[in-house]
Amino acid sequence: MDAPTITLGKHPTTLVKPRAIAAYAVQSQPSVGLLLAAWAKYAPEGDDEDRELHPKLLNAMQDTDCTATRCAALAVCWPSEKAWPSRKRPRPWKVRQPIDEYGAEVFDNLIGGGISPGDVITESWSALWWTLASVTSHNDVKAARDFSEAPSGG
C-alpha cells in the first residue's frame, strides 16, 4: 500500500508511517475494533456511492471515540518537515497518554485553526487505514527473524 496523500488545509500532504507503538495504540482502541468488526459484517458490496450503510456500521463510523482516534492517526502520520494545517502544531503523542484523548486534542486544534469538521473527518479516514496498514504483521516478524547477513570471512 502506498502512503496516502491528503489535502487538509491549503497543500496536499503525503502521510508517513507512524512509530510502531503509535500504530499499535491506534489499533488497540475498542472503537477501532468495533468499526472493523462492523465493517467485516456489514460492509456494502461494490463501489456504489449512493448505497445505504447498515445502521450498525454507520454508528461505528460516527462514534466520537473513533473520530478522535482517527485524528490521532492523522497527527502521528503527519510528516515532521511539513507544516501543520493549523497555526499551532499539536505536541507529540506520549506513550502513556490515551490515544483517543490525544486525538480529541488534535481535532480541537484543527477545528480551532479554521479547518472544517467535515474535512477533518473525511481526511482522517486515510490516516486510520494507513496507520492500521503500518502495524507489523506476523509475516513481517517472520521475515525479519529469518533474515541473516551473508557469512563473512572465509
If the chain, 154 residues long, is cut into consecutive pieces of 10 residues, what is the mean pLDDT of each piece? 92 95 94 90 77 84 92 97 93 95 97 95 95 82 69 60
Q: What's the pTM value of the predicted model, to 2 decimals?
A: 0.83
Q: How far is residue 128 from each of residues 17, 51, 54, 142, measured CA to CA in Å?
A: 11, 22, 21, 25
Determine whether 108 is exposed, middle or buried from the number of CB atoms within 10 Å of its CB (0-12, 13-18, 19+): middle
Residue whose C-alpha is closest to residue 127's, from 85, 67, 81, 43: 67
Determine whether 138 is exposed, middle or buried from the number of CB atoms within 10 Å of its CB (0-12, 13-18, 19+): exposed
